[in-house]
C-alpha cells in the first residue's frame, strides 16, 4: 500500500477518459479505484491498460451465493488487485468464501485484501427503513462491520461519519476504506454522509476514495495535489 491514502475513483466506461484522468491525477494519489461501470464496460484489459502501476481497488461489491462469489474472486485474481470488496449483507458464509478464495489464488504471493461494504453512503436512516433494514445507519454499519471482522475479512468500506466508532470497535489493524469524501466547498452530489479528507484521516480512516472532487474539477491534477498536500501537513 502507498503512504498516500487517496484512491482515485474511476467510474467512466471510457478507457481514453480514464487514462487521461489517471495521467493527470495519478502522480498525486496512492491508488486507483475502478468501479462497476468501468469494469463492466472494459473488464480485465481496461484495468491493465489504465492502472499505470498504481495499487488497484476493484470496487465490484460482490453479493451472491458463496460459491459464485468465490469464483468471482478467483476470476479477478490475475489482476492482482490490492483490494476487492464484497457486500457484508451477503452474510458470513459468503464473506468467508471470498476470503478463502483470495488466499488460495495468492499462493505464495501477495494476497488481495477482501473488505466488505457496510451501508452505502448514498443511504440514510429513512432509506434503511424503506428497505427493511434496522437503523440508524451508524448502528447497521457497526453490526455489519462486526460480522465482516468475525468472518475474517481485512476491513470494510464505511461512510466517514462511522470511522471513529469502527476504529474503536474493530481495532487498529482493521482496514477502513472511506468514500463520501468532500473537500470544503465541493458539491455533495448524491452523497448523504460526507466528511472532509483531513477530518476522515484524523478520525481513523486508512484510505479515502475520492472521485468527483478530483475528476470533475477543471484541473484534476491540481485538485488531487491540493488534497494530498493537505493530508501531508
Which residues are catalytically annotated?
61
Q: Are 96 and 152 in contact (CB under 8 A)?
A: yes
Beta bridge partners of 85: 115
DSSP 60: E
CA pseudo-torsion sign 125, 83, 169, 133: positive
- The string of DSSP letters for 183-218 reads -TT---TT-SS-B-HHHHHHHT-SEEEE-HHHHTSS
Please state the length of the chain: 233
Amino acid at each position: 500500500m502507498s503512504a498516500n491514502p487517496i484512491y482515485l475513483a474511476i467510474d467512466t466506461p471510457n478507457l481514453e477518459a480514464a487514462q487521461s484522468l489517471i495521467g493527470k491525477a495519478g502522480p498525486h494519489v496512492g491508488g486507483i479505484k475502478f468501479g462497476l461501470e468501468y469494469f463492466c464496460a472494459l473488464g480485465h484489459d481496461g484495468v491493465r491498460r489504465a492502472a499505470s502501476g498504481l495499487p488497484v481497488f476493484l470496487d465490484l461489491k460482490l453479493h451472491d451465493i458463496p460459491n459464485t462469489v468465490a469464483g468471482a474472486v478467483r476470476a479477478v485474481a490475475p489482476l492482482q488487485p490490492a483490494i476487492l470488496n464484497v457486500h457484508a449483507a451477503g452474510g458470513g458464509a459468503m464473506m468467508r468464501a471470498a476470503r478463502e478464495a483470495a488466499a488460495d489464488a495468492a499462493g505464495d504471493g501477495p494476497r488481495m485484501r477482501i473488505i466488505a461494504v457496510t451501508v452505502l453512503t448514498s443511504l440514510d436512516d429513512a432509506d434503511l427503513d424503506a428497505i427493511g433494514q434496522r437503523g440508524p445507519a451508524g448502528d447497521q454499519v457497526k453490526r455489519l462491520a462486526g460480522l465482516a471482522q468475525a468472518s475474517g475479512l481485512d476491513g470494510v468500506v464505511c461512510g466517514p461519519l462511522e470511522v471513529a466508532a469502527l476504529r474503536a470497535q474493530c481495532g487498529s489493524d482493521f482496514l477502513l476504506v472511506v468514500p463520501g469524501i468532500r473537500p470544503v466547498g465541493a458539491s455533495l452530489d448524491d452523497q448523504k454522509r460526507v466528511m472532509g479528507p483531513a477530518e476522515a484521516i484524523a478520525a481513523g480512516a486508512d484510505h479515502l476514495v475520492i472521485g468527483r472532487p478530483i475528476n470533475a474539477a477543471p484541473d484534476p491534477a491540481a485538485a488531487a495535489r491540493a488534497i494530498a498536500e493537505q493530508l501531508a501537513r
